[in-house]
Amino acid sequence: MSRISTDVAVIGGGVIGLAIALRLRADGREVVVIEPNEPGSGASYGNAGTIADYAVLPVGTPAVLRNLLPLLLDADSPLSIRTSALPTLFPWLARFAWESLPHRYRDNTRRIAELLSDAPAAWREFAAEIGASDLLSTRGCLYLYKTQKAFRVAATDIALRRSYGVAQQLLSPDEVLRLEPRLPPVEGGGLFFPGAINLIDPGETMRRLSAKVHQAGVTLIQASAQRIVRQPGGTRIIAAPFEVRARTAVISAGARSQKLAAQIGDRVRLDTERGYHLEFDMDEPPIERPVCPTERGFYFCPMHGRLRVAGLVELGGLTAPATPRLVQKLTANARGIFPNLGEPSRTWLGFRPSMPDSVPVIRPSRGGRDVILAFGHGHIGLTLAPRTARLVSALITS
């Protein structure tokens, strides 16, 4: 087994792990990244591409709690569950229900809002650092409300976002069509987030980030970390055929982080959201910014040479294949807005690391600062990558 010694070992080469590695290298530290796949090829590639400063609300809310069973059983719901996974998911679901109670919901919103407070500025700086400023679009994001009732129901969420300083503009149905004239009319109007940024090519962004990390002198080990143990002076990570010894280890392996954290005594209630996307190749997407038809819980994402349709949440672990019914439902939802889309050019399934409270884990392990936890970002991993990197750097330095 090949032995490698380093100052910091970052386990996970998604956008979080790569951003952390780049930040630590800028701090002058020797860094090794351990990642079995092409860096940035998982959820960091397959997301909606939004830098979502507005995403302060956790997934678990009192309204979701009241309707949790119908949401899980309704075939048209944006949330579904693989029945075979229910026994292992039950502890997560029980904690999710508790985190959806009003007092927990309010506290979780506050914590998420604090993390997101400087997301657009942080990403502009980060994109400039990795040579990806040309991949940022600053045209905002649009929520659609099919009915006036749906818009009225959203009033509480709108007010809560406003209380945390999120810029929002209420749009009439006519104003929605002036902003995006190719959309069908909606009775309830829209909500526009002018501060939101989106990436026109998340995959290319990850390639540039990976290249920048490599140029900075970070060593990438293409292997899977199977075990992490504490030892005098640091940690030992088994990633066959390598053994990596590091003074500090950072666990940022996304949906695969739970088992590694448990090995060093941190039992974290992390589980997996299985997210889907479709892509339709075209020279000119029919919209100019991300658009979310709120009643269906997915995003239309205009990207370079294609339209991505990203969304739906399936609870069901890391090993099961894609569920054809959900791919078909996402396709039908997309055609409900743009009937002439045709067949998808490609489909994708990826795994989001999901915490019951929607708040990412960014802290030292309970056993000491020789291991730092940085995972569980759910739907805001892309958004929070630069902020997480700064926080981890501060934890290691202090």
pLDDT per residue over 317-335, tens digit each?
Answer: 888 888 898 999 999 999 9
Q: Is residue 165 part of a domain?
A: no
- Segments forming the whole domain that contains residue 59: 2-140+195-397
Q: What is the pLDDT of residue 241?
A: 95
User: Average pLDDT of 337-359?
Assistant: 95
Which domain CATH number covers 26?
Answer: 3.50.50.60
The pLDDT of residue 340 is 95
42 φ/ψ angles, rounded to the nearest 5 degrees: -95, -130
pLDDT, one tens digit per residue, over 153-208 is 999 999 999 999 999 999 999 999 999 999 999 999 999 999 999 999 999 999 99
Residue 149 within any structural domain of the chain = no
Q: How confident is the model at residue 29 (pLDDT cuts 50, 70, 90)?
A: very high
CA 260 to chain centre: 20
Q: Is residue 67 part of a domain?
A: yes
Residue type, 192: F
Tokens (6 digits) for 288: 């100019």
Q: Name the residue with tokens 């006519």.
A: 174
- Residue in 247, 224, 226 with CA at minimum distance from that of residue 235: 247
> Is residue 148 one of the residues assigned to a domain?
no
Task: Write down the pTM of the prediction.
Answer: 0.96
Instruction: Give the percent of the chain with pLDDT over 70.
Output: 98
Under the banding of pLDDT at 50, 70 and 90, the label for residue 74 is low
Match 């609300």 to its residue by tokens.
Answer: 57
The model's pLDDT over 43-67, given as tens digits with 9 standing for 90+, comes to 999 999 999 999 999 999 998 888 8
50-51, strands of its sheet edge to edge: 50-51, 197-199, 136-137
**Treating both helix axes as pointing N-terminal to C-terminal, what angle do 86-99 and 102-116 enclose, rounded to 10 degrees?**
90
Q: What is the DSSP letter of 359?
A: -
pLDDT in tens, 83-102: 777 788 889 999 999 999 99
187 falls within a domain: no
Into how many domains does the chain fold?
A: 1
In a domain, 385, yes or no: yes
Structure tokens at 234: 């640091």
What is the CA 10 to chain-centroid distance, rounded?
Answer: 19
Distance CA 317, CA 352 (A): 10
Where does the pLDDT of residue 78 fall: very low under 50, low under 70, confident under 90, or very high at 90 and above? confident
Query: Which residues contact residue 324 at a Cβ distance below 8 angstroms, ignoring those fewer than 6 apart?
Result: none
Residue at 180 is within a domain: no
Average pLDDT taken over every residue of the chain: 94
* Average pLDDT rounded to a whole number, residues 98-120: 96
Asked whether residue 12 is assigned to any structural domain, the reply reads: yes
